[in-house]
Amino acid sequence: MFLMSPKHRAIGLGLLAALLLAILCAWHLRTPSPEEASTPAAEYRIRSTPSSSTKSAASPPSSRPAAVFRVAPDGMVDVPIRFQLPGVARVRSAGSFKEWLSQYPLDQQQKIADFNKKHFGVYMVNAPEQVAWMAQNGYPLPEDIIAAESMTDGNLRELAKHGNDKAAFILRERNIVATKEGIDAHIAQGKTQEDFWTRDPEAWRLAEDEKITKQIIDQSNSPYKGYVQAQEHALQTDPLAVDSTVIAGLLWASRLGDFRASQFVDEYVEGAPLRRAMLVAARAVNTNDAIDFGKMQSQGCQRIGTPPGMFIPGAFAPVD
């Protein structure tokens, strides 16, 4: 899907959405495997009860019991084994991005700030529990960003092959950059994008990696995959495709429980009428989808991303 043209990608996403709606009932009611039952997302899905609520996932339902995301007395939070990079079993937390950033050495702060900016504010938090929620849902956190610097693509690839969502996220984002650089280099030499994909040896590796990362990302329940999709904008040449890719990715993250992304997308479209129109239309579709899916919920089905515990904790208020 990542290498498709915008037109074919849109068609593919539409078909995929239709297919998902048809199988979600069976998915929710099936018996999870022992491996799935050990993951936080699966645990919350198993414990959840059907709801007839039709609220958008951008707004955390107040009627659902709040899940507990533990922060140790020293301010550290645990990272589930399936999301761990080598040497990163625990990470720091904080009540704001400024406070969070201040806990790292100066030589690391700029890298962390750059990552946050590139990802539309993904590290903007207003409670330590939000960091714990991010850790439980496989987000690459500051310690991961630093640790990944010493990891090769091969290291990440092996972890991804063994089902590590976070490694797949990081590898995919690296490959987006590598793809962009490779295409730009060919164009600068008077060649075409097609020349890159058919003649450059690096393109074969990128295509093989895509098969691996796409499978992991498609199967992941982590809202962070919406931020990964938003990074795909770098591979678009049409300005409208750039904007739609960012908006779609952030709305996806919001739909999967990261309601902060709803604010991030508002900031992205601010002052740009065409972007705003895209967002209004997308949210209208989202609302219609939520209403229709309410009917499925009333019949005993549950959408992935809505059970108790899947929403990021903390007050539904602007992040700093």
pLDDT digits (tens, 9 = 90+) for 131-176: 999 999 999 999 999 999 999 999 999 999 999 999 999 999 999 9
- How far apart, in whole angstroms, are the C-alpha atoms of residue 139 and residue 131? 9
CA angle 44/50/56 to nearest 5° reads: 85
Q: Are 116 and 134 in contact (CB under 8 A)?
A: no
Pairwise CA distance, residues 3 & 115, whole Å? 24
Q: What's this model's pTM, rounded to 2 decimal places?
A: 0.73
Give the pLDDT confidence of 261-279 residue by residue, as tens digits: 999 999 999 999 999 999 9
CA dihedral 125, 126, 132, 134 (to 10 degrees): -30
Write the pLDDT tens digit of every residue in 77-109: 999 999 999 999 999 999 999 999 999 999 999
Q: Tell me what percent of the chain is helix, strand and coil, each rounded to the nearest 5.
A: 60, 0, 35
